Structure 1
Amino acid sequence: MLELGQIRLLRILPGKGSEIECKLSTVPLDSSPPYEALSYTWGSQDVTHEIIISEKICPVTANLYTALKNLRLENGQERTIWIDAICINQKSDAERSAQVKIMAKIYARAQRVIMWVGEATEFDGMAFALLQRIKGVFQQHGRVDFDFQQIGPDGKPSPLYGLPNTASAEWIALSRLFQRPYFERIWIIQEVVKATKAVLTCGTLNIEWEVVRDFARSLRKGGSLGNIEYSQSAPGVVSVNVMADLKTGNGEDLLSLLSLTRGYQATKAVDKVFALMGLASDHHDVGINIDYSKSAWEIYENLTIYSLMAHNSLFCLSNAGFYSSAERSWIPDWSNMLEHRSCLAFYGNKVFSASRDSEASLKVSEDLQILTVGGYIVDTISVVAPNIRKFRQAEATMKSGPLTWWMTPEEEIARFIVEATEMHGAKEASKRAFIYQEGSSRDKELSRTLCCNILATGERIDIDAAYKVYQWFNKLIYAPHLDSNQGPDVTGKEEKDFSPPGVQGEKFMHSVVFFGTGRSVCATEKGDMGRVPFGTKVGDLVCIFKGGKVPYILRQNGDGSYVLVGECYINGIMYGQALEREDLVYQEFKIK
């Protein structure tokens, strides 16, 4: 058992061939010799390889074995490195708990963090060569927010800065690199954010973190490649931007970090929380001790009650809901990704104000089984559009293809909007009769509803620009090709004066996918459109809780209690309008 403040370091002995020999030593962290730290995925533990550590045979996963072979030096020098699977006794809950508490410091003190994404394939050489060319562009022009291609008068893209066409094999290889499982692992966030120096490594290929960071930032801000980086089919670009933002920011609280990283993977459910503790601005206050002897639900319960009672905040409810793994619908199961559903209360924190500036009224029962929340029933769900096509299925199809969608001209954007609209049921729901504000229309409200009226940056969407984009897509959404095998005419040639939407089209498409994933289009009895969590049923109640940024869907139980289905977007009530109704009756909801 390690003593307080101690760590183990692995010395990889030089050599060649399949046999790997190492030495393990114990040192004080504060006065340790220089070392590197490995950031990687464990991979499957079903297949292992044997290595020699301090004259003992030890099994390691295939991915770690490959990493050790590639990291081993052949020039007679040892390489000193910290690797969690080897340097922590994984059979001791006490040691794991103690080491995880200082893991942020371990990575911060490392001379360099190696971001090991796996063994190189024939495509990765092209990907790293392209990153080197992009590095040259950054060196010549500075870190700029530009597009890597331009759209000509004919609507076709052409490359910029001497880079290859974005439909080329090099760009396809780069997109595949950013789909590596490494980028979906929750632990990498802390490991890279805390690093003083980091390098992305694939086999024997290396490139500096700063190049990868600047590339991802350019994707985010640079036009027609811009807003695709948040797609769940490109987790690498998402992760790099998340890590870059956290490196330069003032720190997020734990619940915000959990919401931001909901789609990341962890082998153990408790690690969805523990992996972020070293980054959280409030980690000393949340009342959670890193302890692997506790169950995930104990940790989730403690965090929820802290948020509700210490901060009088409803934010945790926006990450909770009724799903099969939930013991209580009001406690978020952070191990459940909710179909990658993006949290409206998080991204719309500065935009939405459904309860205006009211204070939450909350009470948790003594047995911790029931949450009582004060608020109002403002509407009832009357229509829930069928999910014509599951987003995850379409996502898998895109992953298996050549991935030209990732860096596409406007015709591909249009095709994707058609798919997204069909997937989320908008085509079906839009046939129903809705009531609109004076001067509005079905299509304008639908375009607003599809994207939940916000961007992933938290800004309110430019509805006039979005509506113009939607008008361009409208001929496709209701076109005969949806019921045939014919491809849509997306070139804009049929309407010579109606040009493709360009950047605004991407922003609209991105928001549709980002906030539409895991949500269905709905209609309410009062005639509003909305986006509600998968699983919402006709008859479910639309409620506004005091202190809530967004509305919530409740389902009544037979005993007078309620189940929380989840947060929602409902047109016409996101900015406190519902509170002006004279027929509102305040009540307390007992949620199980």
Structure 2
Amino acid sequence: MAASSLRRRSYQYLPLSSATCTRLIDIAHQPGLKQRMTLVEADLGDPNRPAYHCLSYTWGSGIPQQETAAVESDEEKQTCWFVNYSPQDDKRHGARIPITPNLQEFLDEFRRRGLEDVHYLWIDALCINQDNLTERRDQVALMGRIYSSCERTIAWLGAEDVDSLACTKMFAKLGSIPEDQLECLTGKQISNKLGLTDADWFSLARFMNRDWWHRKWTLQETVLPKDIVFWCGRDEFCRSNLLHAIRNADIQLWKGVKVPDDPIRCRTAVPQRVLDSWFVWPYVLWYLTRKPEVRARIDSVAPNYARLRSSSDARDSVYSIISFLGDNIKENISVDYEKAPADVFTEYVRAANLDLFLYEIGGRACRHIPDLPSWVPDYSVPQKPVDWIHIGGNVLYHAGGEDLEATTKRIVVLPSGNPRILAVPGIFVDTIMQVGGRSGDTGTGRCFADALAVLDLLPWAEQDEDIIEAFWRTLLSDMQRGRHPDSETFGPSFSAFLAFYLAKWIFISKIDSDASKNLNKLIVSLSEKSRLGLLPSWKQLLDLAARFAARSDAEKPVLTEDEMEKLSPYLEFIREKFDERCFFITEHGRMGIGPDGLKAGTLICVIKGCKYPFLLDEGSAGRYKLLGPSYVRGIMFGESLQRQDFARVEIE
């Protein structure tokens, strides 16, 4: 057939026969890069279906929607040619499906390798009729089965470069160490043993910054197959060596340019999105899917992992993890790309365990999807602040009691007649009186000066607990890896930590400023209320502020190594507990922390069965808007349940 006539034909998909059917690319092994392929139907329920390989890759900008330019070389480069049967004239024609350059690069490499044992491929952009929303819906629902049934998945990371070449050598070296020995070595020991340099680890970091590692769909495409091999241009490596590198690279990757003035926040030479998703990489999911005793945890793990990854369609934040979910959840979620993202997220939360998902609301700044109910997380963006429940809070606290439904372990949800309204049994126990000390101001130290100013407003006469000890415990949500921190270690560490940041604030605001004078008054006032001596003296703060001023080099550390070691225990845990949160006191004399965006008048509500109290603002028609969970000292162990009965609370 003449090339001119070929250009006029686009591929015409035939409907699939059943819900368990998909298409496979029948590779015709013939010389040359312009070979034509054939799409054939395969029933995944048929034990005699052909063996096939899957491709995992990134689409880039997506399938081109317009005709390719008239230059033949460009057209050929962005077009995949297929044999197409035409029922109208009962003939076979050459037909094309437009593809992205990244997919074309993979096909070129696939043909160059000439793999004689691979006869069928599954590639989503080619095997699914992307213009048919019904078919897309059905095939997305089938995706988990497609990947788990394949012989192997080929993960195409793109063309090779100097970093991928360095990583290939690194993975080969890691593969030379027996796994049982590798488990016992630290990242530094591995570097010494194998002769790896910082440059090698930073090559790995840049390699991990490729788009493939940050796409939502690659989670299931990596975890579900029986086997996976990674291609980067002509380089190839296996999953086990890659996972070893990821697990042992974290210490090395945190080496970088530190900011001596602010130990809480450190710059590194590693791209932030690599650090954000480093431990999110599917090693954990891979482990969970293969360990039956912990399989149930994957329902709560997968959504958090997907939030750190990207996709061109917000709805894929849910659809990309359906394969990981239990059957009781999947049967209540329908894949439908005509639904609004807000409706998809709402359906998912109702189908899943609300006791888990209520903690993942995130602050107002990280909610981008319009028309989203306040009690539904925005799964299209990373969660901020990080929820407490997955770092030990679900073990320690039970503010809403421990009487979850015995059979389902779900919180009690009352009928509302409106899927966008969440009705639950709740008790309003307190109201926020004053907010101060927002984590966004930690870099200057102002955060802690403001928090102390709010703390000083709190009546604290003859209480059993010291006010400063209650304060430092509140900033940590009184939690250290699933247990309460001990006073002997964390009390002095907090004192050193507070001295550093208050001194920094004095240096920045100037010693003779009103801010410094007010801080002096606060130190005196709070010292009179505290009997433990945990507050630094004004003289200590002035001496430390003078050290800030005396530095000739802004990069020179202010603290000695011994001083840094003293504040390190508190520093380690306040990073995750207080980030994106703020301090507050209540009308009933309590103190707590909650997500940024709080204001005086925000209500504190205990929901039956929930581990943490929730913060609510008044909404419309007697309903409320959910801001997120909080730590409120004095009601974390069900104390409020002894004085009040639950009543219906509607959240919109």
TM-score, normalised via structure 1 length? 0.77
**Partners of 1:564 and 1:236 in 2: how far apart?**
30
The corresponding residue for 2:430 is: 379
**Partners of 2:583 and 2:106 in 1: how far apart?**
46
Question: Closer, same or farther in 2 for the Cα pair 1:488/1:543, shift >3 Å?
Answer: farther
The corresponding residue for 2:21 is: 6
**Partners of 2:249 and 2:220 in 1: how far apart?**
23
**Partners of 1:201 and 1:451 in 2: how far apart?**
44
Question: Closer, same or farther in 2 for the Cα pair 1:471/1:206, shift >3 Å?
Answer: farther
Compute the displacement of 1:577 (Å): 4.0
For each residue in 1:191-244, what CA deviation from the matched residue of structure 2 results, as whole angstroms up to 9, or x when unmatched? Answer: 22211111233222222111222333446799999xx99985422442233333
The corresponding residue for 1:531 is: 593
Counterpart pick for 1:363 among 395, 401, 414: 414
The corresponding residue for 1:142 is: 181
- What's the secondary structure of 2:592's corresponding residue? strand
The corresponding residue for 1:100 is: 140
The corresponding residue for 1:478 is: 502
**Partners of 2:631 and 2:426 in 1: how far apart?**
17
**Partners of 1:295 and 1:137 in 2: how far apart?**
50
**Partners of 1:470 and 1:115 in 2: how far apart?**
47
Counterpart pick for 1:126 among 146, 166, 176: 166
Question: Closer, same or farther in 2 for the Cα pair 1:148/1:305, shift >3 Å?
Answer: closer
Counterpart pick for 1:242 among 280, 284, 287: 284
1:161 aligns with 2:190: no
**Partners of 1:325 and 1:450 in 2: how far apart?**
30
More helix by percentage: 2
Compute the displacement of 1:548 (Å): 1.0
- What's the secondary structure of 2:157's corresponding residue? strand
Compute the displacement of 1:182 (Å): 2.1
Percent pairwise identity: 23
The corresponding residue for 2:320 is: 275
The corresponding residue for 1:345 is: 389
The corresponding residue for 2:306 is: 261
1:207 aligns with 2:237: yes
Contact in 1 for aligned 2:333/2:351 (Cα 8 Å):
no
The corresponding residue for 1:549 is: 611
Question: Closer, same or farther in 2 for the Cα pair 1:470/1:203, shift >3 Å?
Answer: farther
**Partners of 1:72 and 1:351 in 2: how far apart?**
57
1:327 is aligned with what amino acid? D
2:79 is aligned with what amino acid? E
Contact in 2 for aligned 1:356/1:575 (Cα 8 Å):
yes
- What's the secondary structure of 1:51's corresponding residue? strand
- What's the secondary structure of 1:69's corresponding residue? helix
**Partners of 2:138 and 2:620 in 1: how far apart?**
46
For each residue in 1:542-566, what CA deviation from the matched residue of structure 2 results, as whole angstroms up to 9, or x when unmatched? Answer: 2211111111110023643211111
Q: Whose Rg is larger?
A: 2
Compute the displacement of 1:90 (Å): 1.1
Question: Closer, same or farther in 2 for the Cα pair 1:236/1:331, shift >3 Å?
Answer: same
Question: Closer, same or farther in 2 for the Cα pair 1:306/1:159, shift >3 Å?
Answer: closer
Compute the displacement of 1:88 (Å): 0.9
**Partners of 2:564 and 2:402 in 1: how far apart?**
43
2:648 is aligned with what amino acid? E
**Partners of 1:145 and 1:246 in 2: how far apart?**
22
Counterpart pick for 2:648 among 584, 588, 591: 588
2:105 is aligned with what amino acid? T
Q: Tell me, which stretches of 5 or more residues in structure 1 are unaligned?
A: 151-157, 391-417
The corresponding residue for 2:152 is: 112
**Partners of 2:467 and 2:116 in 1: how far apart?**
72
2:316 is aligned with what amino acid? D
Q: Tell me, which stretches of 5 or more residues in structure 2 are unaligned?
A: 1-14, 66-77, 84-93, 256-267, 405-410, 509-547
Contact in 2 for aligned 1:231/1:238 (Cα 8 Å):
no
Contact in 2 for aligned 1:15/1:72 (Cα 8 Å):
no
**Partners of 2:465 and 2:375 in 1: how far apart?**
41
1:329 is aligned with what amino acid? P
The corresponding residue for 1:566 is: 628
**Partners of 1:68 and 1:445 in 2: how far apart?**
62
For each residue in 1:249-298, what CA deviation from the matched residue of structure 2 results, as whole angstroms up to 9, or x when unmatched? Answer: 33236455324533332332332222222221234665223344444344
Compute the displacement of 1:492 (Å): 5.5
For each residue in 1:343-370, what CA deviation from the matched residue of structure 2 results, as whole angstroms up to 9, or x when unmatched? Answer: 3334432332112214455323223343
Deviates more, 1:259-268 or 1:194-203: 259-268
Question: Closer, same or farther in 2 for the Cα pair 1:145/1:68, shift >3 Å?
Answer: farther
Contact in 1 for aligned 2:147/2:224 (Cα 8 Å):
yes
Question: Closer, same or farther in 2 for the Cα pair 1:230/1:303, shift >3 Å?
Answer: farther
**Partners of 1:114 and 1:511 in 2: how far apart?**
40
The corresponding residue for 2:522 is: none
Compute the displacement of 1:134 (Å): 2.7
**Partners of 1:9 and 1:256 in 2: how far apart?**
32
For each residue in 1:280-318, what CA deviation from the matched residue of structure 2 results, as whole angstroms up to 9, or x when unmatched? Answer: 1234665223344444344333334445xxx7x543332
The corresponding residue for 1:413 is: none
The corresponding residue for 1:500 is: 565
**Partners of 1:134 and 1:509 in 2: how far apart?**
33
**Partners of 1:237 and 1:478 in 2: how far apart?**
33
Counting matched residue pairs gives 538
The corresponding residue for 1:459 is: 482
